[in-house]
Amino acid sequence: MGQHVCTCAIFSYDMSRKIETHHDVARLNEDFCQCAIFDSDESNDRLIGNFSLGRSFCKL
């Protein structure tokens, strides 16, 4: 993966519940980036999601 980004996520159904998320971002091609989302940056982290970003959001 190319970059590591740490963010805070809020659950839409419970605004008082916040978690720290860690995104590993890789450029797939000129138009898309792929993000793998983990629950921590430790060696025992768990994959909790993934998504792709289009050109207008992917500035690596």
Number of domains forming the structure of the chain: 1
- Please state the separation of Cα 52 from the chain's center in Å: 9
Residue type, 24: D
Domain that holds residue 45: 3-11+18-57
Going from the C-alpha of 4 to that of each of 13, 25, 40, 44, the distances in angstroms are 27, 6, 11, 16
CA 5 to chain centroid, in Å, comes to 7
Assess whether pLDDT exceeds 60 at residue 54: yes
pLDDT tens column, 32-47: 889 999 988 899 999 9
Over residues 5-24, the pLDDT tens digits come to 888 888 778 888 888 889 88
Confidence of residue 58 (pLDDT cuts 50, 70, 90): low
Q: What is the 8-class DSSP label of residue 55?
A: G
